[in-house]
Chain A
Amino acid sequence: MALNIPRRAGRRRLRRFTRRDVVVLGVLLGLPVLLDIVIIWGPTLASIGLSFTAWDGVGDVHWVGGDNYKNLVENYPAFWPAVRHNILWMLFLGLVATPFGLFLAVLIDRGVRFSRFYQSVIYMPVVLSLAIVGFIAQLILGTDQGVVNTILNNDENPIDWLGDSHLNLWMIMLAAGWRHVGYVMILYLAGLKSVDPQLKEAAAIDGANERQTFFRVVFPTLRPVNVIVGVITVIEALRAFDIVYAVNKGRNGLELLSVLITDNIIGEASRIGFGSAIAVVLLTVSLGFIVTFLVQELRGARDR
């Protein structure tokens, strides 16, 4: 794979390694690689294997072929809502939160005063645990004395923002977006600052207005950041878990694939094979994006 390294250089360098160097390299590369295999890749493969079995975690493992997947699609009522919720989550982050973060980054990057302050405040939610975000959401949206209901002044008939299964997903996505926007903004701010100002000047001389400059000149140069932000957005949407779990353990309108996996595995039923099948569905979707991202990275690294 590493054809980009000139052969000659590689050989010359290799001869430089003494026996002690080889030991150091072996141990300090071996340990992390081993750890990554044991903690990440081994279990990933095992999950794929387990997804074709029926197992309660204690007794024997029975091979059941594709039954888990069949059951998942045909008679697991929570599956399709969860898929829909994950997709909505992705669309919301991708089409609303991410562009908003970019917009804020562009505004702040134009060099307004107090930009440090704005930047810090908008970034602040990112350092909070999603468990806490979930709780704060309850303070604001709860039926008993929740702020929104107080403002709307409907004590008699409060809207159950988090309990109503038609509303709660949107409210939780808003809360998740609250964190996502700051993260995206920071990434774009860094990207924007690395854009060569001469590009913008040249565009201005050619008579481009600000919007044209941004979309035709600046945005395309942000490609590496765009790729990273895109991957983060998708991965975050697929991984979403803590916040719904903190609000109501992911029930009643807040089902997500990650929650279903957790429920099946650590719930009373302990349906490990079935939980693994859901995990594999999630894995398959994620891998598509991860591979795209890595190909992009690899190309970037080769150019360097």
Chain B
Amino acid sequence: MTGDLRTSAPTRPAAAPRQAPKSPARRGRWGVHIFLAGVSLAFLAPLLLAVYASLRPYEETAQDGYFSFPKHLSFEYYRRAYTESGMGKYFTNTLLIAVPGVLVTLFLASFVAFAVSRLKLRGGLVLLMFFTAGNLLPQQVIVTPLYVLFNRIPLPWWMSDSLTMYDSYWAVIIVNVGFQMGFCVFVLANFMRTLPQEILEAAIVDGAGVWTQFWRITLPLCRPALAALGTLEFTWIYNDFLWALIFISNPDKLPVTSSLNNLRGQFFTDYNLLAAGSVLVALPTILVFLLLQRHFIAGLTLGSTKG
């Protein structure tokens, strides 16, 4: 990792010399640029099309198709998509699931990673495998037993109005935490291995306990990795709709991605309205991506490179 990608990994030496010796190959790049620009356009086109469709009245596209010159452009569909699908409520639902989900996942995963890679506990590798393998299982394998289990776990009324774990946010949160922990442990353990062991040793000599070594010494050094994982996990949990589909039955509790399905049921033919809805739903993750791009990309790559 170097250049853009590694700005968030300050513990490794800067990779400035790598950028330098690249001059002779700079010529004759036009082909490459045309190719990359073409690919970029092809990748962006579907998104742009959705935005374009959402700005035009349905009658117009019904007559001329989506690929035609616009006569009227307005944000009317965005207003309608937002109000008619009750999207505000669904956004809240998603946040109620994603925010605690991300925080708990990161906290638990970072401690496991710390124990595995910093304390060098015996059996650490087994633990690491235990979590990583769990993350790679297909979701559908665990669906049925969880469905049955959640239906049988009673919760008091102040935690869930369905009085069971089923049809409550708790179910979706806990499944997300359990499932995503594996990935976070894997990435964080790899990251923590790159931290200098001396820092920890100095702390141990000063008599720091396990908690202090973790919370006060290791975790602050992991801030870039945590930021990366936080943004990544947020988009993943935000985008998920399988768990909600299965564990939530009350339509009022669905997260925002599944609300699109509702919109589709009600306004089956009005694709422009649906396009506006999709753009609105996609907006938060795209914004998070654009704002936190560096962290985001670093997060994906932290686990993949061996220091």
For the residues of A in contact with B, the DSSP-based class is helix
Kindly state whether residue A97 has any CB partner on chain B within 8 Å: no
Does A129 contact B257, Cβ atoms closer than 8 Å? yes
Closest to B134 in A: A40
Q: How far in angstroms is the closest Cβ of chain B from A214?
A: 13
Given A46-B145, A128-B282, A33:B210 Cβ within 8 A: no
Cα distance A157–B303 in the bound complex, in angstroms: 50
Cα distance A43–B2 in the bound complex, in angstroms: 41
Does A50 contact B211, Cβ atoms closer than 8 Å? no
Q: How far in angstroms is the closest Cβ of chain A from B225?
A: 14
Does B50 contact A108, Cβ atoms closer than 8 Å? no
Cα distance A114–B300 in the bound complex, in angstroms: 21
- For window 33-74 of chain B, which residues contact chain A by CB distance below 8 Å? 33, 35-37, 39-40, 43-44, 46-47, 49-50, 53, 61-62, 65-68
Does A131 contact B174, Cβ atoms closer than 8 Å? no
B2 interface neighbour in A1, A194, A293, Cβ under 8 Å: A194
Closest to A181 in B: B43
Contact stretch, chosen from A69-77, A87-95, A161-169, A257-265: A257-265
- For window 123-158 of chain B, which residues contact chain A by CB distance below 8 Å? 123-134, 136-149
Does A1 contact B126, Cβ atoms closer than 8 Å? yes
What 0/1 readout, one digit per residue, does chain B (17-29) give for beta carbons within 8 Å of chain A? 0110110011001
Does B50 contact A136, Cβ atoms closer than 8 Å? yes
Kindly state whether residue A41 has any CB partner on chain B within 8 Å: yes
- For window 11-47 of chain A, which residues contact chain B by CB distance below 8 Å? 13, 16-18, 20-21, 24-25, 28-29, 31-33, 35-36, 38-44, 46-47
A residues less than 8 Å from B33 (CB atoms) = 112-114
B residues less than 8 Å from A9 (CB atoms) = 120
Does B36 contact A239, Cβ atoms closer than 8 Å? no
Interface size for B (C-beta < 8 A) is 118
Kindly state whether residue A269 has any CB partner on chain B within 8 Å: no
Kindly state whether residue B1 has any CB partner on chain A within 8 Å: yes
Q: How far in angstroms is the closest Cβ of chain B from A235?
A: 5
For the residues of B in contact with A, the DSSP-based class is helix
Given A112-B32, A145-B62, A150-B65, A139:B136 Cβ within 8 A: no
Does A145 contact B178, Cβ atoms closer than 8 Å? no
Interface centre among B6, B129, B286 (most CB of A within 10 A): B129
A residues less than 8 Å from B305 (CB atoms) = 190-191, 194, 224-225
Does B301 contact A279, Cβ atoms closer than 8 Å? no
A residues less than 8 Å from B14 (CB atoms) = none
Does B119 contact A187, Cβ atoms closer than 8 Å? no
Q: How far in angstroms is the closest Cβ of chain A from B51?
A: 10
A residues less than 8 Å from B95 (CB atoms) = none
Cα distance A13–B49 in the bound complex, in angstroms: 60
Q: How far in angstroms is the closest Cβ of chain B from A157?
A: 15
Does B136 contact A290, Cβ atoms closer than 8 Å? yes
Closest to A175 in B: B46
Interface centre among B5, B144, B209 (most CB of A within 10 A): B144
B138 interface neighbour in A125, A146, A283, Cβ under 8 Å: A283
Q: How far in angstroms is the closest Cβ of chain A from B149?
A: 7
B residues less than 8 Å from A20 (CB atoms) = 209-211
- For window 177-191 of chain B, which residues contact chain A by CB distance below 8 Å? 177-179, 181-182, 185
Interface size for A (C-beta < 8 A) is 118
Closest to A36 in B: B134
Given A5-B120, A35-B174, A57-B148, A123:B125 Cβ within 8 A: no
Closest to A302 in B: B125
Interface centre among B2, B33, B36, B242 (most CB of A within 10 A): B36
Closest to B301 in A: A190
What 0/1 readout, one digit per residue, does chain A (197-220) give for beta carbons within 8 Å of chain B? 100010000000000000000000
A2 interface neighbour in B68, B126, B288, Cβ under 8 Å: B126
Cα distance A17–B50 in the bound complex, in angstroms: 58
Does B3 contact A131, Cβ atoms closer than 8 Å? no
Closest to A293 in B: B136
B49 interface neighbour in A16, A136, A294, Cβ under 8 Å: A136
Given A36-B130, A41-B134, A139-B50, A116:B139 Cβ within 8 A: no
Kindly state whether residue B239 has any CB partner on chain A within 8 Å: yes
- Chosen A-B contacts, 30 in total, with CB atoms closer than 8 Å, are A1-B123, A20-B209, A28-B108, A29-B112, A32-B131, A32-B185, A39-B177, A40-B134, A40-B142, A43-B144, A44-B142, A110-B25, A112-B36, A124-B44, A124-B286, A127-B235, A127-B288, A128-B285, A129-B281, A131-B260, A139-B275, A145-B271, A189-B301, A190-B305, A193-B1, A194-B306, A228-B303, A241-B140, A279-B141, A290-B136
Query: Which A-B residue pairs are the 3 nearest by beta carbons?
Result: A39-B178, A190-B301, A150-B65
